[in-house]
Structure 1
Amino acid sequence: MNKSTLVLYTRSRCSLCDKAKKIILELQEEWDFILEEIDIDTSDELTEKYGIMIPVVEIDGEEIQFGQIDHLTISEAFSEKSKSF
């Protein structure tokens, strides 16, 4: 089974992003996935796309949650993904 990739879109000085990253790091202890963190400020396109939504969590290209990130929603998404293999 291939590892899922979780992408966290964030920017500096973003307290919600810091909270989201903490939750994701905790989730990494339960689920085996690759974490990729992308600072939207490095791309005008990403800033335009996600500007007011960050943090945004995407798993294998599918947007799962944005803004207020919570443990349960992300965990449920991984649970669903593991069933589909």
Structure 2
Amino acid sequence: MYLQHFTKLVKPSKPILEFLFRRMSRLKKELPILTLFTKDSCTLCDEAKKVLEPYRHRFILQEVDITDPDNCVWFERYKYDIPVFHMNGQFLMMHQVNLKILEKQLAKLEQDGNKMW
């Protein structure tokens, strides 16, 4: 919206427009994806979700039911270890939420996301 008004007032060059678009796209923060590998009636998973609640504004929680037939690979890998957590597709922790590990990884991702060229 602001860029529209700017271009009406001034005719910026192509490099300036490209710079502005890059800058604006970097300002949009994308939240990391925290994947919880779980199954029905998993009390440890329910407890883990309660522990994660205060951090929910810093990530998107995606739950994967390992008992779903489409997730048989995850079932074979994690059937004795749930809850298991991945952050952006990479293993993070299992059995319970380790707040030190979670906070460290979130801080790292937030720091990396705030780096400007």
More helix by share: 2
Aligned length: 83
| Cα distance in 1 between the residues matched to 2:96 and 2:47 | 9
What code does the residue aligned with 1:18 have?
Answer: D
Per the alignment, residue 64 of structure 1 pairs with 92
TM-score, scaled relative to structure 1: 0.84
More strand by share: 1
TM-score, scaled relative to structure 2: 0.64
| Cα distance in 1 between the residues matched to 2:94 and 2:102 | 11
Using CA pairs under 8 Å that are at least 6 residues apart, name the structure with larger relative contact order, 1 or 2. Answer: 1
Q: Which runs of 4+ in 1 moved over 6 A?
A: none
SS at match of 1:41: coil
Identity across matched positions, percent: 28
Q: Which ranges in structure 1 are unaligned for 5 or more consecutive residues?
A: none
The Cα RMSD (Å) is 1.4
